[in-house]
Amino acid sequence: MDDREVSPGEGRQAVGVHGVRPTMKDVAEAAGVGFKTVSRVVNGEPGVNAATAQRVRVAIERLGYRRNDSARVLRRGRTASVGLVIEDVADPFYSELTRAVEEVARANGSLVLAGSSAEDPERERELVQTLCARRVDGLIVVPAGTSHEYLLPDLAAGMAVVFVDRPAGDIDTDTILTANALGARAGVEHLIRHGHRRIAFVGDAPQVFTAVERERGYREALAAAGLPADDSLVFMGPPRLTPIRAVLEEMSRLAEPPTAVLTGNSRSTVAVLRSLASVDGGAGGRRRLALVGFDDFELADLLVPGVTVVAQEPRQLGRIAAELLFRRLAGDHGPSQRIELSTRLVARGSGEIPPPVESG
């Protein structure tokens, strides 16, 4: 065998000329075997003589060969990757969900292509289209927008799609949701049970599906208890400190101020906590507002008082969505499913603060 042939990777080191990748053909030449034999060895297919296989492996090592999956994908049609579109990886809710999806993907020999939409429908669409162009086998989407007809061609081509946390706008797909209304309702009922009659709701912007659902649950609970709905106790806006602090200020100046709050997600909860901390001046100051937060968060138990929450299960959401996706990819063509995961009320103190005694 003559090793001096002109081929990448020549020399003693397992390095090629800069920018040149050895191919299966190069390996085949180096090992003095046919092209397809290398393919067999690389993919662990049976029917290769042990000695031949060994020679091939040596050549692979020497040349620093690495299979080009782009070519493989093109030929086989499957990419062994799934796309994930969420709102923001830096948000613990989504990063936990992401981790669960990753875990399931790994178990199924798949990689995750992820991107954050930043709550922007245009960006969501771009991301999804890019992922489709990459021919991901399946897609898990937390939609920011409400129209998803643009997915029809891909659906028709056999791509599996699962929506999580929020439903698709106008197409029929598998959907995994949290029982938002029920959860919010349970939170308000908890406050009512502890004596509250004036309960505020600080939710996310009304474009967000979950925000609206939770508001609905909030109103249902009030109605069921025969309490009046008062729009001056409801705030639907982005979970940022300044507007939330302002609205709490405003509510506190009402003739009948709220004695308790339900928040719509953990960002809102944190914003409310910060507002109260700065107003109450920590421990002292005015009377304490009871608080139940939708969505759990780390350290909720270490705050004083501990923060009572309606806990969701982002990991479950991600796991179940991914498992369903891979079931679809494995050939399950049953009718599309809509699964709702129930919430869990975790009492830690803030939600059990009684209203101040009536004193004018």
Stretch that binds DNA, among 40-48, 95-103, 168-176, 292-300 (CB under 7 A): 40-48
CA 28 to chain centre: 44
Interaction partner, residue 284 (DNA, its own copies, none; CB < 5-8 Å by kind): none
Contacts of 199 (CB under 8 A, 6+ apart): 188, 191, 192, 218, 222, 227, 233, 258, 259, 260, 261, 262
Least gap, CB of 153 to DNA (angstroms) = 12
Among 1, 20, 205, 246, binds its own copies (CB under 8 A): 20
Among 25, 134, 274, 338, binds DNA (CB under 7 A): 25
CA distances from 146 to 75, 125, 131, 206, 274 (A): 35, 11, 19, 13, 32
Does 130 contact DNA by CB under 7 A? no
Least gap, CB of 38 to DNA (angstroms) = 8
| Cα(196)–Cα(346) distance, integer angstroms | 18
Does 209 contact its own copies by CB under 8 A? no
CA distances from 187 to 143, 159, 228, 262 (A): 26, 38, 17, 7
By beta-carbon proximity to DNA, the closer residue of 49 and 278 is 49
Residues 228-287 close enough to bind its own copies by CB under 8 A: 270, 273-274, 277, 282-283
Does 158 contact its own copies by CB under 8 A? yes
| Cα(90)–Cα(100) distance, integer angstroms | 15
Residue 213 CB neighbour total at 10 angstroms: 22
By beta-carbon proximity to its own copies, the closer residue of 68 and 342 is 68
Does 329 contact its own copies by CB under 8 A? no
Beta carbons of 307 and 350 less than 8 angstroms apart: yes
Helix (H, G, I), strand (E, B) or coil at 60: helix
| Dihedral, CA of residue 258, residue 261, residue 262 and residue 265, to nearest 10 | 130
Among 68, 147, 252, 342, binds DNA (CB under 7 A): 68
Interaction partner, residue 99 (its own copies, DNA, none; CB < 5-8 Å by kind): its own copies
| Cα(222)–Cα(352) distance, integer angstroms | 18
| Cα(227)–Cα(167) distance, integer angstroms | 30
By beta-carbon proximity to its own copies, the closer residue of 100 and 181 is 100
Helix (H, G, I), strand (E, B) or coil at 87: coil
Does 63 contact DNA by CB under 7 A? no
Rule CB under 7 A: which residues touch DNA? 21, 23-25, 33-37, 39-40, 42-43, 46-49, 52-53, 67-68, 71-72, 74-76
Rule CB under 8 A: which residues touch its own copies? 13-21, 63-71, 73-74, 79, 81, 88-92, 95-96, 98-99, 102, 106, 111-116, 129-135, 152-158, 270, 273-274, 277, 282-283, 297-299, 302-304
